[in-house]
Copies of this chain bind each other. A is one copy, B any other.
Amino acid sequence: MNFIENGSVTSPIGFKGAGICGSVKPSNTTKRDIALISSDVICNTAAVFTKNLVKSSAIIVTQRNIENGKAQAVIVNSGNANTCNADGEEKAERMCELAAQALNIDKEDVIVASTGVIGQPLPIEPFEKSVPELGKIMSENGGTDVAEAIMTTDTVKKETAVTVEIGGKTVTIGAVAKGSGMIHINMGTMLSFVTTDAAISSDMLKAALTEAVEKSYNMVSVDGDTSTNDTLAILANGMAGNEEITSRNEDYRIFTDALMAICKSMAKKLAADGEGATKLIVCSVSGAKTAADAKRVAKSVICSSLVKAAMFGADANWGRVLCAIGYSGCDVDVTLVDVSFRSKAGDIKVCENGAGIDFSEELAKKILLENEIEIIVGLNDGDGCAEAYGCDLTYDYVKINGDYRT
């Protein structure tokens, strides 16, 4: 498996994309905010959505459109979430219609997604004007414009692609994502679209996506708020020419591992670019009684506001890590717990058997001043392992969210 330099959602064979500034938010007159992704041929598709009861109208329309396991395009906008609006479904339907017309496909084969402020009516005029334009500029190099168009408070574009050999054929998987705030476990992504030229049935695609999500997007938290618009969709057009994957065979395993690698890479990008974040925090837990316990502990540490603030301050306050382990809800023997911090500046053990040990505050500071920190928790009570991804809590998180609507 190889990561492709400058890989994007249009790296797989037969995929095109484009992004345009449609001024969905009237104050935005420069940044791309409407995007299209399309496949030359119809795709098998699978998707997962937010667990929030309050759902964007876009999700309701998408769920209807992909019920048959098929899709050929994605239309997406930033600047407005199209959530909690009386006429939201109608607008989302119209977005699909416009995309279908521009691409000369069926409107029922379009996935629609929106991200931005909740509860403000979505203006449809920007789409009426811009989507026909988008249809004309669709390109195999358009992936990166899609990545820009779906950004909200994101500070960097999030895209990647890998190639992998499946049955003697080179299969490519590409991905784009946005997400910075309102990010939490299940689903911690806001929006992500994955494309592949692999031939794989809708059922196996759903299985692979579920497996991959469980260890990637579902292990990210920025601020504990579960968004209303989270959508992760994958489209597989089969153009790589491999024998279609229709069971959990070896090809399925290779495909799923590659998909997992893509999703983990994107999950880390989301966490590292969490609103206001200055560092990526990875919490690795081992020695739990079960894998489920390990996940709960890792998530609890990553989600602790106090741990996050300590990481921002490069303060080796391991007591807060223990505190978060203690309220995780898992049956942990506190007297067995070890905690270390690691970064490229080195690693340092700070707690052994649930109690503090002497350590160099100077070295700890040096380690924690890096921008990728690993908190290593050893529960020493079994074989369960897990990793969760988060970020520090900073002044800028508060600044960004203190007045988001204006």
Question: Which one of A5-13, A137-145, A201-209, A318-326 is at the interface?
Answer: A318-326
Given A119-B351, A305-B223, is A319 in contact with B398 using a C-beta cutoff of 8 Å? no
Question: Which one of A168-176, A235-243, A308-316 is at the interface?
Answer: A308-316
Question: Which one of A17-25, A79-87, A158-166 is at the interface?
Answer: A79-87
Q: Is A323 a contact partner of B402 (Cβ separation < 8 A)?
A: no
1/0 contact string of A280-324 vs chain B (CB within 8 Å):
000000000000000000000001111001101101011110111
Given A310-B401, A312-B398, is A226 in contact with B323 using a C-beta cutoff of 8 Å? yes
Complex Cα spacing A395 to B402, Å: 10
Question: Which one of A30-38, A46-54, A126-134 is at the interface?
Answer: A46-54
Q: Is B356 a contact partner of A323 (Cβ separation < 8 A)?
A: no
Please give, as numbers and ranges, the residues of chain B lying within 8 Å of A310 by CB-CB distance. 401-404
A384 at the interface (CB under 8 A from B): no
**Number of chain A residues close to chain B: CB under 8 A:** 63
A351 to chain B, nearest CB (A): 7
Given A305-B225, A399-B395, is A86 in contact with B355 using a C-beta cutoff of 8 Å? yes
Known: A55-B326, A117-B317. 16 other contacts (CB 8 A): A51-B327, A52-B326, A53-B334, A54-B325, A86-B355, A118-B319, A119-B318, A119-B356, A120-B356, A225-B324, A225-B327, A306-B401, A313-B403, A393-B401, A394-B398, A395-B399
Can you report 8 residue pairs joining A to B where beta carbons are below 8 Å apart? A53-B331, A120-B356, A309-B397, A309-B398, A310-B401, A312-B402, A313-B402, A317-B404
A residues at B contact (CB < 8 Å)? 51-55, 81, 83-86, 117-121, 181-182, 184, 223-228, 303-306, 309-310, 312-313, 315, 317-320, 322-327, 331-332, 334, 351, 354-356, 393-395, 397-406
